[in-house]
Every structure is written in structure tokens, then in C-alpha cells.
Amino acid sequence: MTLPANILVVEDDTHVATVLEARLSSFGYHVCDIARTGPAAVRMAVEQSPDLILMDILLEGDMNGVEAAELIHNQKDIPIVFVTCLSDQVLLERAVNANAYGYILKPYDNAELRYTIEIALIKYRATKERERLIADLEKALNEVKRLSGLLPICASCKKIRNEEGRWQPIEVYIHEHSEADFSHSICPECARVLYPELDHSRR
């Protein structure tokens, strides 16, 4: 069973925050806390690591929502949806650069609020999954490349010269540069040379 997403609401108007919390609860989300100032939003985000932050741009005090989002982004990777009644394009562009996964212009209806949050959560999860797959692919490629290219090997003793210029037994080198391991035995040709007295007609 999937747990409901935890949402941090950042809104300085108590009445608006109460209504917003009720709406989010009706959508099936859990409001983990409500912050009314920028510093409080930063502190709650760092302490609680919500799944999403619903951030009003205009807040009480000296720190607005965009500035709070920038501070949060420096410490936590949390998707943020901005809520604003502003049409200031410069401020909205700044909000987009502050890890914004969407924004809603007031006044908004319930459907717009719900779909904007759902899309933001889906985009964030898809981004994290893509990053994980890329990291796994890069790791796999690095493992494949570890033993690629020319290996300097002694024609006499069969030791390999490593990246530091030291000569190592071939089994040591391969073990350190791959997932392979070794079990030792003797091939038929060597067995005839080393143990001529034995019957080598049987395998």
C-alpha cells in the first residue's frame, strides 16, 4: 500500500493555510506542517524532508518564497510548487530556477491544484528513477571497460604490469579488475610434463 505524499505548506495567511490543508487532505495527501515565514519553511524542509513543498511566493518578513526555495534547494532535493497571485515574469523565472516543479496562479480551483501537484510528484519520481538508471548504466560500463584494451604481459612468467607499473600475477590482476575468481588445476599438457609416471590416457 502506497503511503500518501507528505506536503509542506508555506503560507502566511492562517485562513488560506487552513483551507489549503483541508483541500490537500481531501485529495489524499498528508500535510506534515505549515510554515508562515521563509526561515520557518527552510527549517521545516530540512528537518522533515517532505515529498513536496507548496510554496507561496509572498511571505511575511524579509525572506520571500523564492529566496526560501533557493536556500532549501542548497540543502535538500525536494520538488517545489509555487503559489502566487503575481504576474511578475522576472520573479516567476527566478522561481523556475529554484527547483520549481510547477506554479499556480491565484485564484485557482481544486482540479488545477490537484493536477499540478500530481504532475510535480510524477516528474520528480521520474527524474530520480532516470538518475538511478543512468548511474547503474555508468557503473556497468565502467566494469566492462576495466579489462578492455591492451594488457602488458610478460612473455616468460605471464605476469601483468598494472597501472602503477608493478608486475602482478595474472590471477591477482584479473581478480582486482573484475568480478572473476580462480580455482587452480592442471591442464593435460602440463600434467604429462610434470607427472609422466601417471596414466594420462583417462581424463
> Are the C-beta atoms of residues 74 and 97 closer than 8 Å to each other?
no
In angstroms, the CA 57 to CA 12 distance is 10
At residue 146, the pLDDT reads: 60
Higher per-residue pLDDT: 116 or 86: 116
Same domain, 131 and 181: no
For residue 17, tell me if it sits in a domain. Answer: yes
For residue 122, tell me if it sits in a domain. Answer: yes
User: What φ, ψ does residue 153 adopt, rounded to 5°?
Assistant: -125, 135
pTM: 0.67
> Are the C-beta atoms of residues 46 and 76 closer than 8 Å to each other?
yes
Give the pLDDT confidence of 56-96 residue by residue, as tens digits.
998 888 999 999 999 999 999 999 999 887 666 677 777 77
Mean per-residue pLDDT, 110-119: 93
User: Which residue, 57, 86, 85, is CA-closest to 69?
Assistant: 57
For residue 203, tell me if it sits in a domain. Answer: no
For residue 65, tell me if it sits in a domain. Answer: yes
Q: Residue 114 pLDDT more than 60? A: yes
Same domain, 43 and 12: yes
Report DSSP state, residue 8: E
Same domain, 57 and 123: yes
Give the pLDDT confidence of 181-202 residue by residue, as tens digits.
767 777 777 777 767 776 656 5
Q: Residue 149 pLDDT more than 80? A: no
For residue 31, tell me if it sits in a domain. Answer: yes
Report, in angstroms and rounded to the nearest whole number, the Rg of the chain calculated over CA atoms.
Answer: 31
Quick check: helix, strand or coil at residue 94?
Answer: helix
Distance of CA 70 to the CA centre of its chain: 19
Domain encompassing residue 189? 147-197
